[in-house]
Amino acid sequence: MAKEAKKLVAGNKKAYHEYFVDEKYEAGIVLHGTEVKSLRLGQCSIKEAFIRIEDAEVWVYGMHVSPYEKGNIFNKDPLRPKKLLLHKSEINKLLGKVKERGYAIVPLEVYFKDGRAKMEIGL
């Protein structure tokens, strides 16, 4: 009945030129309040970002979320690592692929879907 509302915040066209994207996954992003407000204003860059799996958790590094101008003391470091939310089975599958064949996990786009910040990642 209701169509999925998907509002694109940031794309990474460079990833498609540098890598062959085999599979795509949708992951939630763990953000703090002022970061969400900055994302809603479209102040985000994932051009230099990369993804690592550490202790069975997926983290994105180098994703720049500009500080929210009215956020003052509540603003976080713009380049702090952000946790991505995936199912355990998806994390294990990604981990296996990265270890065995020289695959890399790259961020493709950041968007809002039904009011939640999401990131599409490619293998």
106 domain residue, yes or no: yes
- Give residue 1's pLDDT: 43
- Give residue 87's pLDDT: 92
20 domain residue, yes or no: yes
1 domain residue, yes or no: no
11 domain residue, yes or no: yes
Which residue did the predictor score with more confidence, 120 or 77?
120
The set of residues, in sequence order, having a beta carbon less than 8 Å from that of 64 and lying 6+ positions away, is 44, 45, 46, 48, 49, 78, 79
| CB 26 within 8 Å of CB 120 | yes
32 domain residue, yes or no: yes
Q: What is the total count of domains within the chain?
A: 1
3-state secondary structure of 117: strand
35 domain residue, yes or no: yes
pLDDT at 41 over 80: yes
Q: What is the CATH number of the domain that holds 17?
A: 2.40.280.10
User: How many CB atoms are located within 10 Å of the residue 109 CB?
Assistant: 19
Q: Which structural domain, as residue segments, surrounds residue 53?
A: 6-122
Reported as a single tens digit per residue, the pLDDT across 45-104 is 888 888 888 888 888 888 888 877 776 766 677 778 889 889 999 888 888 888 887 788
pLDDT at 19 over 50: yes
| CB 85 within 8 Å of CB 72 | no
Type of residue numbered 101: R
